[in-house]
Amino acid sequence: MHAHIQQRIQEIINNLDRLPSIPDVASKVLTMVNDPDVAFKAIADEISKDQAITTNILKLCNSAYFSKGKEISSIDRAIVTLGIKEVKDIVVVAATREVLNKIIVGYDLARGELWKHGIAVAVLSKRIAVLKNKKSIADIAFTGGIIHDVGKTVLALFVQNTFKEILELVQTRQIQFAAAEKEIMGFDHQEIGENILNKWKFPEVLRSIVRHHHQPDKAPAEFLPIVSIVHIANTLCLMAGVGIGADGLYHELSDTAIKTLGLTNRELEQLYGDMPQVLNQASGIL
């Protein structure tokens, strides 16, 4: 373990200014949606205060993936037509694009690859939730999918210098990449992601998805199903090469996740075979 690297990462985490930022509206909407006493009108007003993001949100509302056919020209209409959960997802897409849509050096991801990966994992997570009769959490699975690897945006710089050591440890100790990240640098991209979400004031369920997406069995019992969904979606996207970087497939496909969701071999292969469709849908959001 490199104590100086661990210390440098700790400094970044302690100094919130050095972690990536997103528009405030995202956390406000995430909180308001969960509060049954908040009227839709109040949420629409909150979003509309941020003009730049409102323009992006309306574009997304009318994109192939989210559109219900009718042209949407205001946030009020969007909530009525698409529903509040869908609009909340769209807010998160619009708010996180800038942070995620960039080159991620240490993991060898070209510009846009991590963004495409997050959106593909989001779309596939939603599909898995619907397939396994968990429609009520499909929207949260979608949000979690978008941001699950956000920690990579910060850890990448350190991975760049320690990549060889990490990979060597993966092979000699037969541990997955994220575990080796932690051994070498004191942190893995999941923990850093959790810290970023703390800064963004995102709810516990999303923090849990980000924190445990490579080891769902470590997630608190109440979040195990949703963490499992994002874990499986992430695995399938990586296998299809979507957002696969220098860490490759040096990850574990969790049996706990498969059993938790009750996925059969046939269903898993079918979901993997659906990847061209998933990518097609995702391209409507990019």
Q: Using the rule CB under 5 A, is 89 a contact of Fe ion?
A: no
Query: What amino acid is encoded at 41 in this protein?
Result: K
By CB under 8 A, is residue 231 in contact with other proteins?
no
**Terminal Cα distance for the chain, rounded:** 38
* Residues contacting residue 75 through CB under 8 Å, at least 6 positions apart: 44, 47, 48, 54, 57, 58, 87
Residues near 120 by beta carbon (within 8 Å), at least 6 away in sequence: 237, 242, 243, 278, 279, 282
- Compute the chain's Rg from CA coordinates: 18
79/205 with CB nearer Fe ion: 205
Q: Which does 33 bind (CB under 5 to 8 A by kind): Fe ion, other proteins, none?
A: none
From the list other proteins, Fe ion, none, which binds 242 (C-beta under 5 to 8 Å, kind-based)? Answer: other proteins
Query: Out of Fe ion, other proteins, none, which partner does residue 149 contact, by CB within 5 to 8 A per kind?
Result: Fe ion
Residues with Cβ < 8 Å from 29, sequence gap 6 or more?
Answer: 43, 46, 47, 87, 88, 91
Among 251, 260, 261, 285, binds other proteins (CB under 8 A): 251
CA atoms of 88 and 57, how far apart (whole Å) = 10
Angstrom distance (rounded) from CA 103 to CA 220? 32
When asked if residue 103 is in the footprint of other proteins (CB under 8 A), the reply is: no
For position 262 contacting other proteins by CB under 8 A, the verdict is: no
Given other proteins, Fe ion, none, residue 268, with its beta carbon under 5 to 8 Å by kind, binds other proteins
Member of 76, 108, 165, 217 binding other proteins (CB under 8 A): 108
The correct pick among 80, 244, 284, 286 for binding other proteins (CB under 8 A) is 244
Site for Fe ion in 141-160 (CB under 5 A): 149
Residue 22, SS3?
A: coil
Nearer to other proteins, 95 or 179 (CB): 179
Give whole-number Cα distances, 24 to 49, 154, 252, in Å: 11, 20, 35
- Only one residue has tokens 């941001």, namely 147
Does 193 contact other proteins by CB under 8 A? no
| Nearest distance in Å: CB 194, Fe ion | 12
> What is the CB neighbour count within 10 angstroms for residue 266?
8
Distance, CA of 220 to CA of 229 (rounded, Å): 14
Between 86 and 181, CB nearer to Fe ion: 181
Is the Cβ–Cβ distance between 211 and 226 less than 8 Å? Answer: no
The stretch among 54-62, 124-132, 147-155, 266-274 that binds other proteins (CB under 8 A) is 266-274
CB of 86 to other proteins, least distance (A): 26
The reply on whether position 118 binds other proteins by CB under 8 A is no
Are the C-beta atoms of 241 and 87 separated by less than 8 Å?
no
**Alpha carbon distance 36, 44 (integer Å):** 15
Among 58, 242, 261, 282, binds other proteins (CB under 8 A): 242
Q: In the numeric block, which tokens belong to residue 54?
A: 């409102």
Binding-site string for Fe ion from residue 209 to residue 238, where x marks contact by CB under 5 A and - marks none: -------------------------x----
Q: Of 78 and 118, which CB lies nearer to other proteins in the complex structure?
A: 118
The residues binding other proteins (CB under 8 A) are 108, 163-164, 167, 170, 174, 176-177, 235, 238-242, 244-246, 248-253, 255, 258, 265, 268-269, 272-273, 275-276, 279
